[in-house]
Structure 1
């Protein structure tokens, strides 16, 4: 029993560590890469400081992945929820990825765990777009209905049904969060190109 509890705690720590750090490090790495590319495009040599940031962010990402492989994501010190999706979108735009946000239905107070899980789905999906999609636009759709909440993120990047995506720690953690709340998660390459993430959470229609 004690071993089981320890294992569950390790999974929780790994999942939350992934959620809090991977997005931020990815944004730093992408921004540094863009700055280096633009400098060289102007036939300028990037500054040593910029190259150091690019290298350090890449090393930090590799080390984080290695740690997550051992732990397999942080208990929130600050409350996060869907009200802060706009901040995620702005940070992703700053990294060079256009983001569109659409909200349909009537926003409502959500159970804290559903609100947080919805935010984490968007966070992980945007991180993956910045890291893997190449030149792409991301579209976030949050749909409120009386009996369910649906959070979708899709992009028009490089993913293709002909090249199946191997689920990494992020997608596995995302699925654990969603299904742990009785929800469903679908992740797949789009027929028209790009990748789609769709999480649906059941809600009490009387709330």
Structure 2
């Protein structure tokens, strides 16, 4: 990377947790300056404005989540059933890290952007669509391989899984009690075992 690109990446990485915990619209230029040790002029020399930086930080934060989740869908888990259960296990094992860094970056951005930050709202929409597509693709492959019930809607279950995970994270983070997330994850496992997995005749 060029020196300018390295500086941009430095600013993004140094402010990633700050934006996710304090908020994309509430993080001030002074906050960014303090987190990076750079002057306001230097920050504006690399980004047109705070909103541009906020968008790049969101892409970085959501990209990290996607990268880590992708391991659950990788070659280490050969069957569609293995991949879905690995998806559940990811949140079971990594909730400490997610909470320590301000919670789920997609959900955080979704709740605060709404109509006040349309460009961020659009990026969040893209993230959710990609997430649902990834899960529904796994379910569809499981249907084609004979692992899963061929009559279910892959898109509907993908949407349901995301709602359960995000709701569990929201309640657990708000109450500082992991039981809500675990309850949501337990429900997903029951759905996988009783509704999605094909029951031998």
TM-score, normalised with respect to structure 1: 0.26
- The higher radius of gyration belongs to 2
Q: Which has the higher helix share?
A: 2
TM-score, normalised with respect to structure 2: 0.27
Q: Which has the higher strand share?
A: 1
